[in-house]
Amino acid sequence: MTTYIAYCRVSTDKQGRSGLGLEAQEAAIKAHLRAGDLLLQPPYVEVESGKRDDRPKLQAAIERCRRTGATLLVAKLDRLVRNVAFISNLMESGVEFEAADFPKANRLTVHILSAVAEHEAKMISERTKAALAAAKRRGKKLGGDRGYRPPSPPETALA
């Protein structure tokens, strides 16, 4: 029997509003659980870039894992972090974590996968910057306040 604390993350407000990415993560987390496992409530849900290390909900989930001895559970490793240094620090902190998409991952594979995720994030950023520069060269107006205010993230089905 393992006690878990769930952490789900999507990167954009649009993904957070649709709830689809969060629902898929919650389904993967539930499917990962075995008879006798305990999933502590509430789950920690965040709408934030995986490149950022200062995610309040992730920090709260990690702290709760420390206090309770629970294992942090994510649907996919890239939902946890896309930064090798952060994953190394998490591994050294003593907080156990599992990714439902790769439950048997060891320290080596986690480091390799986080390095790939970090590289992928860098490539996404470079492609986005290039696309925005191309749009700007075509005369498209970028940025500015258009009155949009993101709503709060949706309630999670894991609760």
Q: How many CB atoms lie within 10 A of CB 48?
A: 17
* pLDDT (0 to 100) of residue 109: 83
Q: Measured in Å, how far apart are the chain's first and last C-alpha atoms?
A: 20
* pLDDT (0 to 100) of residue 158: 66
Phi and psi angles of residue 22, each rounded to the nearest 5 degrees, phi first: -70, -40
* pLDDT (0 to 100) of residue 106: 80
pTM above 0.85, yes or no: no
pLDDT along the chain (159 residues), means of 10: 92 70 90 94 86 83 94 86 79 87 82 83 89 90 71 64
Q: Which domains does the chain have, with CATH numbers?
A: 3-137 (3.40.50.1390)
Q: Which residues of 129-152 are buried (b: 16+ CB within 10 A; e: fewer)?
A: eeeeeeeeeeeeeeeeeeeeeeee
Structure tokens, 156: 């999670």
Return the active site residues. 11
* pLDDT (0 to 100) of residue 2: 93
